[in-house]
């Protein structure tokens, strides 16, 4: 029931940014970045309502409607005919706002109204990448200029909470309720000069897992205080790699293990009640050498083993070079089969193939159909936590 910038070659991609930026990160350098991670997290005191009510709502939907909840498509404020058609035909329940927003918050709120008219009974969840610095999609009147994470790290935690609350209020006023941020990737000292997706773009909070964890918590607390959910990214981390998965077909982490201290910010975010986690499309040879993370039951299973039963969202499965070798029709299938929930594509041309492929595969595989229903319940629960949907 429904209740009351990255710019390169003209494309904006989710999760990672391609715009150039100076090298360098803030934060102290730990003595070791391969030691044991933080202690086991305690249960969050702000649970998302994932109980029988959301499960019942999910299972009452037909397969097409369920699949529609599991694909997030990129749109711009112009909302093209192609974008409208794909959303309507596939009953898509979430979007990520892309491109320029010269009209600022009013323009974004206006497109939100148009998206409402296209959405099905489960409504629409509007997301964006509002990290700060080079990765701030929404700009113009009504949106503050957000400093990059490397600058945010210089603020005290209390100051960052207050700043993030203000940035979150700007998003909420424009009806954007999910921020695909903050970046929890720890960049070890030896990678600071060569790490393209985080260090070179100033997107990280530093090289010390404890410091990064504290800043991720502060940013998240501020956003949630403004009723904006966060998707912490890019699990299990893009700090110990060189290439950018948006543009390199093979990005490999040969450092991070399942017990690495580099995972601390993610593990602490789970304990802190993160609304969602974004999984990267790099390959982690010491966790699962056979699959990139978004298609890895082992990587996603590690996250679930910490007690995380909220939404797992993919990094871009549309235009990113890291998934180029996988047919579009199989990308959402592989992600959901691995345990993921919300398959993100910034490219409207791939959204239909992803949704169609998942529908076809789930019709032929009862186990996958059950996985689709489980993920649908998680997505509906996230919407319910934001007042966008009512379970039960």
Summarised one tens digit per residue, pLDDT across range 239-298 is: 999 999 999 899 999 999 999 999 999 999 999 999 999 999 999 999 999 999 999 999
Residue 21 and residue 133 in contact, taking contact as beta carbons nearer than 8 Å = yes
Summarised one tens digit per residue, pLDDT across range 337-392 is: 999 999 999 999 999 999 999 999 999 999 999 999 999 999 999 999 999 999 97
User: Can you name the CATH fold of 52-385?
Assistant: TIM Barrel (3.20.20)
| SS3 letters across the chain | CCCCCCCECCECCCCCCCCCCCCCCCCCCCCCCCCCCCCCCCCCCCCCCCCHHHHHHHHHCCHHHHHHHCEEEEEECCCCHHHHHHHHHHCCCEEEEECCCCCHHHHHHHHHHHHHHHCCCCCCEEEECEEECCEECCCCCCCCCCCCHHHHCCCCHHHHHHHHHHHHHHHHHCCCCEECCCECCCCCHHHCCCCCCCHHHCCCCCCCHHHHHHHHHHHHHHHHHCCCEEEEEEECCCCCCCCCCCCCCCCEECCCCCCCHHHHHHHHHHHCCCCEEEECCCEECCCEEEEEHHHCHHHHHHHHHCCCCCEEEECCCCCCHHHCCCCHHHHHHHHHHCCCCEEEECCHHHHHHHHHHHHHHHHHCHHHHHHHHHHHHHHHHHHHHCCCCCCC
pLDDT confidence of residue 50: 60
129-157 average pLDDT score: 98
Summarised one tens digit per residue, pLDDT across range 43-71 is: 334 456 665 679 999 999 999 999 999 99
In which residue are the tokens 């959204």 written?
A: 351
Domain ranges of the chain: 52-385
Angstrom distance (rounded) from CA 171 to CA 200: 26
């Amino acid at each position: 029931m429904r209740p009351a910038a990255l710019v390169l070659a003209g494309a904006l991609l989710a999760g990672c940014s391609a715009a150039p930026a100076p090298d360098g990160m803030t934060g102290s350098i730990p003595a070791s970045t391969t030691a044991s991670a933080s202690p086991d997290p305690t249960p969050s005191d702000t649970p998302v309502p994932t109980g029988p009510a959301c499960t019942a709502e999910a299972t009452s939907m037909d397969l097409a409607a369920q699949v529609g909840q599991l694909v997030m498509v990129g749109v711009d404020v112009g909302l093209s005919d192609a974008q409208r058609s794909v959303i309507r035909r596939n009953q898509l329940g979430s979007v990520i706002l892309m491109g320029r927003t010269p009209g600022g918050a009013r323009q974004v709120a206006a497109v939100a109204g148009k998206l409402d008219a296209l959405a099905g009974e489960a409504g629409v969840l509007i997301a964006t990448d509002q990290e700060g610095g080079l990765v701030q999609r929404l700009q113009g009147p009504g949106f503050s200029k957000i400093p990059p994470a490397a600058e945010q790290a210089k603020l005290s935690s209390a100051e960052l909470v207050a700043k993030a609350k203000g940035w979150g209020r700007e998003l909420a006023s424009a009806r954007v309720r999910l921020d695909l941020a903050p970046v929890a990737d720890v960049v070890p000292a030896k990678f600071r000069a060569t790490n393209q997706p985080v260090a070179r773009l100033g997107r990280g909070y530093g090289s010390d897992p404890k410091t990064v964890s504290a800043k991720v918590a502060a940013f998240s607390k501020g956003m949630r205080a403004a009723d904006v959910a966060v998707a912490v990214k890019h699990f299990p981390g893009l700090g110990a790699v060189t290439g950018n998965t948006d543009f390199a077909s093979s990005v490999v982490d040969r450092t991070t293990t399942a017990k690495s201290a580099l995972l601390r910010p993610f593990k602490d975010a789970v304990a802190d009640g993160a609304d969602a986690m974004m999984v990267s499309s790099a390959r982690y040879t010491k966790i699962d050498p056979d699959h990139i993370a978004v298609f890895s039951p082992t990587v996603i299973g590690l996250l679930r083993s910490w007690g995380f039963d909220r939404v797992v969202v993919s990094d871009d499965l549309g235009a990113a070079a890291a998934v180029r070798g996988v047919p579009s029709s199989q990308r959402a299938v592989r992600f959901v089969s691995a345990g993921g929930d919300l398959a993100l594509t910034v490219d409207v041309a791939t959204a239909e193939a992803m949704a169609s492929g998942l529908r076809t595969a789930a019709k032929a595989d009862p186990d996958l159909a059950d996985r689709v229903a489980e993920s649908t319940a998680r997505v509906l629960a996230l919407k319910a936590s934001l007042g966008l949907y009512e379970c039960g």
